[in-house]
């Protein structure tokens, strides 16, 4: 049975808003007395929640609230959530960069963390000197560090700049070196924040591959924070969803991602877009509603391979008709990955019919190339470089059943994340 390497018990973290400093001598004496008696701070309102869109009623905000986690050796865990949910705060507490306001964190083993560009790096030291410095902090001997030095430099791709002070590095070079140091030195626990997004696509792939290697082959624990759900799904077996400073879900990664997407995208909840205020554009054209039709009838779900029509209703709020426009529907899968678009720019030959008054435009799809699932659609219309209307999460397309290939099988077993289907066939020569 795998041993527990991280134990988080009833952790709370509070931050003070605005100017940091003493208020009055009376308040400071009250805080000191409460602290000595192991009591709550009497000057702090305890009902503040961590919500970016809500104005705080007091001077403090709870970034984390009653966090309880148990993490085993060798687990690869994805920590996800909206901006401001408390992900980075949790990692900083685990990395001992900041202390919890209350609660207890127990860690067994050596830990290496990469939380932001330049973490753990001394800007005046060279790349090589920083490698030795980080190894020494982890308790490694100089000989042990030297054995891994070439691998670290090669993985980071900084051989030409290894003897250059880190302050001369670009942000991408700093991230590559920081990750290589954290991954190759003998740490039992590896913590990586969204900082990997700074690196290029090739390095991101190598970094994800290295994290898989250190967890599966070397039995090390990895905590990974990212907004890239595809990376989370491919790398992690367990997911932790933080929402407003609380653990909203802790379990298998696929349902964790689905719940996160549901928080952001209103998945499964098609609402009227006529009254939506969370949209962009100058308003000369407004999308008012969307209908999904199959066999000339409005429907809520469609089958894979079916002949469907997407009907977009609009209103032009201007006396002059709109011409030379670009209308686009962006399509995303359930984890928020972009799949493709339906656009007049590629499917139509100018000039397009003018948009005036109120009406609708049909998008005809003879054979729906999507496997079973829920897909998100964004709507966009612009002309002459000016956006008139852009609505995110405007519609959710629900595909249920159907047989795109006529074989009753639309995908291979356990072939997750492959949602777009290609119309093709095999031709075998006569034998």
Residues 4-45+58-263: name the CATH superfamily: P-loop containing nucleotide triphosphate hydrolases (3.40.50.300)
Give strand pairing partners of 297: 294
Backbone angles phi, psi at 12, to 5 degrees: -125, 145
Q: How much is the pLDDT for 10?
A: 92
Decide if pLDDT at 337 tops 90.
no
Contact assessment for residue 348 and residue 408, using Cβ atoms and an 8 Å cutoff: no
% of the chain beyond a pLDDT of 70? 86
| pLDDT beyond 80 at 66 | yes
pLDDT value at 111 more than 50: yes
Q: Is the pLDDT of residue 117 over 80?
A: no
- 270 confidence band (pLDDT: 50, 70, 90): low
Q: pLDDT tens digits for 218-255?
A: 788 889 888 777 778 778 889 999 998 999 999 998 88
Q: Are strands 325-332 and 338-343 parallel, antiparallel or unpaired?
A: antiparallel
Half-sphere exposure of 410 (CA within 13 A, CB side): 22
For position 47, what pLDDT does the model report?
A: 47
Residue 426 confidence (pLDDT) above 60:
yes
Predicted confidence (pLDDT) per residue in 161-212, tens digit:
999 998 898 878 888 888 888 778 777 888 888 766 666 777 777 887 888 8
Q: What is the pLDDT of residues 33-64, one digit of tens each?
A: 877 877 766 665 544 545 544 454 556 788 99
For domain 275-427, the CATH class is mainly beta
Q: Span 371-387, mean pLDDT?
A: 90
Residue 268 pLDDT exceeds 50: no
Give the model's pLDDT for residue 387. 94
> How much is the pLDDT for 267?
46
Mean pLDDT computed over every residue of the chain: 83
151: pLDDT strictly greater than 70: yes
Higher pLDDT, 94 or 207: 94
Both structure tokens of 4: 């527990």
- Give me the pLDDT at residue 176, please: 83
Please give the model's pTM, rounded to 2 decimal places.
Answer: 0.63
Q: pLDDT grade, residue 417 (50/70/90)?
A: very low
Whether 405 shows a pLDDT value over 90: the answer reads no
User: How many Cβ atoms are within 10 Å of 325's Cβ, its own excluded?
Assistant: 21
Residue 141: Cβ within 10 Å count: 10
* pLDDT at residue number 285: 95
Count the Cβ atoms, other than its own, within 10 Å of residue 83. 9
pLDDT band at 19 (very low <50, low <70, confident <90, very high): very low
Across the range 292-314, mean pLDDT stands at 90
Q: Where are the domains of the chain?
A: 4-45+58-263, 275-427
- Residue-level pLDDT at 307: 93
- Top-confidence residue, 378 or 193: 378
**What is the model's pLDDT at position 280?**
93
Q: pLDDT tens digit string along 280-296?
A: 999 999 999 999 998 88
Residues in contact with 241: Cβ distance below 8 Å, sequence separation at least 6, in sequence order: 80, 81, 247, 248, 249, 250, 256, 259, 260
3-state per-residue secondary structure call for the chain:
CCCEEEEEEEEEEEEECCCCCCCCHHHHHHHHHHHHCCCCCCCCCCCCCCCCCCCCCCCEEEEEEEEEEEEECCCEEEEECCCCCCHHHHHHHHCCCCCCCEEEEEECCCEEEECCCCCCCCCCCEHHHHHHHHHHHCCCCHHHHHHHHHHHHHHHCCHHHCCCEHHHCCHHHHHHHHHHHHHHCCCCEEEECHHHHHCCHHHHHHHHHHHHHHHHCCCCEEEEECCCHHHHHHHCCEEEEEECCEEEEEEEHHHHHHHHHHHHHCCCCCCCCCCCCCCECCCCEEEEEEEEEECCEECCEEEECCCEEEEEEEEECCCCCECCEEEEEEEECCCCCEEEEEEHHHHCCCCCCCECCEEEEEEEECCCCECCEEEEEEEEEEECCEEEEEEEEEEEEEEEEECCCCCCCCCCCCCCCCCECCCCCCCCCCC
Residue that wins the pLDDT comparison between 335 and 307:
307
What is the mean pLDDT of the segment spanning 145-174? 88
Which pLDDT score is estimated for 313?
94
Residues 105/11, Cβ–Cβ less than 8 Å: yes
Q: What is the pLDDT of residue 180?
A: 83
Q: What is the mean pLDDT of residues 133-151?
A: 84
């Amino acid at each position: 049975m795998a041993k527990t390497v991280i134990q988080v018990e009833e952790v709370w973290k509070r931050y003070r808003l605005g100017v940091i400093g003493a208020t009055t001598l009376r308040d400071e004496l009250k805080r000191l007395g409460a602290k000595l008696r192991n009591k709550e701070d009497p000057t702090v309102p305890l009902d503040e929640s961590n919500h970016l869109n809500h104005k705080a009623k007091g001077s403090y905000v709870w970034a984390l609230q009653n966090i309880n986690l148990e993490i085993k050796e060798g687990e690869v865990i994805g920590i996800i959530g909206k901006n401001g949910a408390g992900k980075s705060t949790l990692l900083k507490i685990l990395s001992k960069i900041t202390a919890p306001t209350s609660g207890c964190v127990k860690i067994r083993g050596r830990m290496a963390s990469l939380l932001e560009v330049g973490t753990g790096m001394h800007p005046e030291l060279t790349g090589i000197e920083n490698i030795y410095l980080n190894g020494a902090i982890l308790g490694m001997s100089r000989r042990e560090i030297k054995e891994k030095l070439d691998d670290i430099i090669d993985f980071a791709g900084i051989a030409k700049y290894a003897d250059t002070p880190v302050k001369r590095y670009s942000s991408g070079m700093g991230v590559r070196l920081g990750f290589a140091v954290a991954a190759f030195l003998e740490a039992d626990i590896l913590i990586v924040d969204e900082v990997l997004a700074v690196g290029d696509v090739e390095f991101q792939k190598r970094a994800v591959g290295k994290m898989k290697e250190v967890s599966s082959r070397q039995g090390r624990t990895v905590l990974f924070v990212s907004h890239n759900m595809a990376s989370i799904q491919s790398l992690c077996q367990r997911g932790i969803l933080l929402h407003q400073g609380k653990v909203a879900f802790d379990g298998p990664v696929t349902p964790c991602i689905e719940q996160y997407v549901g928080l952001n995208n209103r998945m499964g909840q098609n609402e009227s877009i006529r009254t939506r205020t969370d949209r962009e554009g100058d308003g000369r054209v407004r999308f008012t509603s969307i209908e999904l039709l199959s066999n000339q009838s409005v429907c809520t779900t469609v089958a894979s391979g079916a002949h469907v029509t997407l009907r977009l209703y609009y209103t032009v709020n201007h006396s002059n008709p709109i011409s030379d426009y670009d209308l686009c529907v962006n399509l995303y899968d359930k984890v928020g990955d972009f799949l493709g678009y339906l656009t007049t720019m590629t499917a139509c030959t100018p000039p397009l019919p003018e948009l005036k008054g109120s009406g609708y435009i049909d998008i005809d799809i003879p054979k729906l190339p999507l496997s079973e699932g829920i897909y998100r659609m964004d709507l966009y219309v612009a002309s002459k470089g000016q956006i008139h209307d852009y609505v995110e999460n405007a519609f959710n397309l629900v595909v249920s059943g159907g047989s795109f290939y006529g074989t009753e099988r639309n995908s291979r077993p356990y072939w997750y994340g492959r949602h777009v289907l290609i119309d093709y066939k095999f031709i075998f020569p006569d034998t």
